[in-house]
């Protein structure tokens, strides 16, 4: 038996692409009218006293130990130690939406939900898998992909992770993408994850490729397929070449067709260089969805958040909100982005000027990483590079080696890549 509150949300979403694509858990989940919503009512009407919430209050303010407070002197007690609402600090959500519109002018005039705060992009992907993926509903993603997708989708959700081939002829393999999408569509619905700039390859589509990707989705939607597109924008803004599609593809999918639901998974983790803050956002957009339907999706997400971490961390939300209004933040971010771009150029120059019969660089133009397709076993090569050259890299699968140039100083790049190429040559012997 479904809880009546879940039923209510499902009724609100009935007939929409979002309602059609819910998983088993997605259909069951709801946000209870329990402590949290009674607490919200009490904040509004409990003028004499608010005896609802499990925090220690002194004269209406949250208590904070001086030994804690001294490390964040500019935050109020509430900003530092209070719980945030389940869907996140409302001011931060508003600010992130404003920033999203600024970063993606293509979203102008297109309705989206309010971003919901989740504890990092990983949690966002996990919650989306809860909502939309189950043993009968697979997710499609690129091969190679970030390995955590498989852990979330296959191991955690017991669903299948289907893949398309990421590259052909030095660019995005649109034929493989189209074929895989059409194959998924035979079931009537498609759940697909696109991640640009990509982990592990460091690739983002060109303007022409972006157009083709959108066209594939549009054509299937026009034929009646219900499609949800997850845009994992973890590395947004780190584009190092001219012809890269400059926005999130979310801007294209947001209002593409009534059969397309777009979800943006993003956050300050890499964009604002705060990896351990554990703060991310999920934002929905679909042509024709009403505010009430966006709210129903938000409530479902809130149920998932409430039943797992309850709410996201306050200090990181408070600091992010303040930082986003600092006058120099854009200038400061540009300095870091330029530094990463300089590392990219150095890697690009090395790779372009060195031949190897063992290593073939996969296309890369953005983000934190580049990867090699290896003609030897990538794990054996990784171990050799680690133990003989004292350099850490990641073997993604038997024939893919990932190098995070984001974490290597520019002055060390030649040394690191020379060692990788030398180790690869030695593998032939
Ligand atoms: C493609 C991709 N998505 C998401 C994440 C995770 O982001 P977060 O640290 O905010 O969970 C990563 C981190 O490595 C990533 O590479």
Distance 346 CA to ligand 1 centre (A): 24
Q: What's the pLDDT at 43?
A: 80
The pLDDT of 313-337, averaged and rounded, is 98
Say if residue 51's pLDDT is above 90: no
Which domains does the chain show, CATH number per domain? Answer: 4-31+86-324 (3.40.640.10), 329-427 (3.90.1150.10)
**Confidence category of residue 426, pLDDT binned at 50, 70, 90:** very high
Q: Provide the token pair at 213.
A: 């990707």
- In the predicted model, what is the mean pLDDT of the chain? 96
Could you read off the pLDDT of 182-217 as tens digits, one per residue?
999 999 999 999 999 999 999 999 999 999 999 999
Say if residue 34's pLDDT is above 80: no
The pLDDT of 108-125, averaged and rounded, is 98
Cβ atoms within 10 Å, residue 428: 10
Residues 6+ apart with CB under 8 A from 111: 254, 255, 285, 289, 291, 294
Query: Given ligand 1 and candidates 233, 234, 273, 368, which is best to mutate, with the most ligand atoms within 8 Å of its CB?
Result: 234
Say if residue 98's pLDDT is above 90: yes
Distance 117 CA to ligand 1 centre (A): 15
Region of 264 please: left (phi>0), alpha (psi -120 to 50) or beta.
Answer: beta
Report which of residues 312 and 54 the model is more confident about. Answer: 312
Say if residue 117's pLDDT is above 80: yes
Say if residue 347's pLDDT is above 80: yes
Say if residue 27's pLDDT is above 80: yes
Cβ of residue 272 lying under 6 Å from some atom of ligand 1: no
Closest ligand 1 atom to Cα of 124: 11
Q: What's the pLDDT at 53?
A: 80
The pLDDT of 125-130, averaged and rounded, is 98
Closest ligand 1 atom to Cα of 280: 10
Could you read off the pLDDT of 139-167 as tens digits, one per residue?
999 999 999 999 999 999 999 999 999 99
Q: What's the pLDDT at 429?
A: 63
**Confidence category of residue 48, pLDDT binned at 50, 70, 90:** confident
CB–CB of 322/144 below 8 Å? no
Distance 269 CA to ligand 1 centre (A): 8
Q: What's the pLDDT at 413?
A: 98
**Confidence category of residue 428, pLDDT binned at 50, 70, 90:** confident
Helical packing angle, 207-222 and 174-185, nearest 10°: 20
Distance 146 CA to ligand 1 centre (A): 8
Cβ of residue 199 lying under 6 Å from some atom of ligand 1: yes
The pLDDT of 44-60, averaged and rounded, is 86
Cβ of residue 363 lying under 6 Å from some atom of ligand 1: no
Cβ of residue 121 lying under 6 Å from some atom of ligand 1: yes
Closest ligand 1 atom to Cα of 122: 11
**Angle CA 250–7–113, to nearest 5:** 20
Q: Provide the token pair at 47.
A: 């003028």
Distance 184 CA to ligand 1 centre (A): 25
| Distance in Å from the first CA to the final CA of the chain | 65
Distance 234 CA to ligand 1 centre (A): 6
Say if residue 35's pLDDT is above 90: no
Burial class (CB in 10 A: 0-12, 13-18, 19+), 86: buried
Task: In whole angstroms, give the CA distance from residue 416 to residue 411.
Answer: 10
Cβ of residue 201 lying under 6 Å from some atom of ligand 1: no
Distance 121 CA to ligand 1 centre (A): 6
Say if residue 19's pLDDT is above 80: yes
Say if residue 263's pLDDT is above 70: yes
């Amino acid at each position: 038996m479904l809880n009546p509150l879940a039923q209510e949300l499902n009724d609100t979403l009935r007939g929409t692409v979002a309602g059609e694509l819910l998983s088993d858990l997605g259909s069951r989940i709801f946000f209870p009218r329990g402590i949290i919503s009674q607490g919200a009512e009490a904040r509004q009407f409990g003028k004499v006293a608010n005896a609802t919430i499990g925090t220690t209050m002194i004269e209406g303010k949250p208590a904070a130990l001086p030994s804690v407070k001294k490390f964040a002197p500019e935050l109020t007690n509430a900003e530092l130690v209070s719980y945030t609402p389940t869907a996140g600090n409302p001011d931060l959500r508003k600010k992130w939406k404003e920033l999203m519109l600024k970063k993606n002018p293509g979203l102008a005039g297109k309705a989206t939900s309010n971003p919901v705060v989740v504890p990092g992009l990983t949690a966002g992907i996990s919650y989306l898998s809860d909502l939309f993926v189950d043993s009968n509903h697979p997710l499609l993603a690129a091969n190679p992909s970030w390995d955590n997708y498989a852990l979330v989708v296959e191991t955690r959700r017991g669903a299948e992770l289907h893949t398309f081939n990421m590259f052909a002829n030095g660019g995005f393999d649109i034929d493989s993408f189209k074929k895989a999408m059409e194959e998924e569509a035979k079931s009537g619905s498609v759940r697909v994850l696109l991640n640009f700039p990509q982990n592990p390859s460091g690739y983002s589509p060109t303007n022409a490729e972006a157009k083709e990707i959108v066209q594939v989705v549009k054509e299937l939607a026009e034929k009646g397929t219900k499609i949800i597109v997850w845009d994992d924008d973890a590395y947004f803004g780190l584009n190092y070449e001219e012809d890269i599609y400059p926005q999130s593809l979310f801007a294209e999918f947001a209002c593409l067709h009534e059969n397309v639901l777009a979800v943006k998974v993003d956050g300050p983790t890499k964009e604002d260089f705060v990896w351990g803050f554990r703060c991310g956002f999920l934002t929905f957009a679909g042509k024709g969805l009403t505010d009430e339907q966006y709210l129903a999706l938000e409530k479902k997400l809130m149920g998932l958040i409430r039943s797992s971490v309850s709410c996201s961390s306050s200090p990181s939300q408070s600091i992010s909100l303040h930082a986003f209004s600092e006058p120099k933040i854009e200038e400061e971010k540009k300095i870091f982005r330029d530094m990463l771009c300089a590392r990219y150029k150095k890697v690009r120059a090395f790779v372009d000027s060195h031949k190897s019969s063992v290593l073939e660089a996969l296309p890369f133009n953005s983000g934190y990483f580049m990867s090699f397709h290896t003609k030897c076993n990538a794990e054996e090569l990784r171990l050799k590079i680690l133990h003989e050259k004292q350099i850490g890299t990641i073997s993604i699968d038997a024939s893919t080696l990932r190098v995070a140039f984001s974490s290597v100083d520019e002055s060390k790049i030649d040394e690191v890549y020379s060692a990788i190429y030398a180790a690869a040559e030695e593998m032939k012997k």
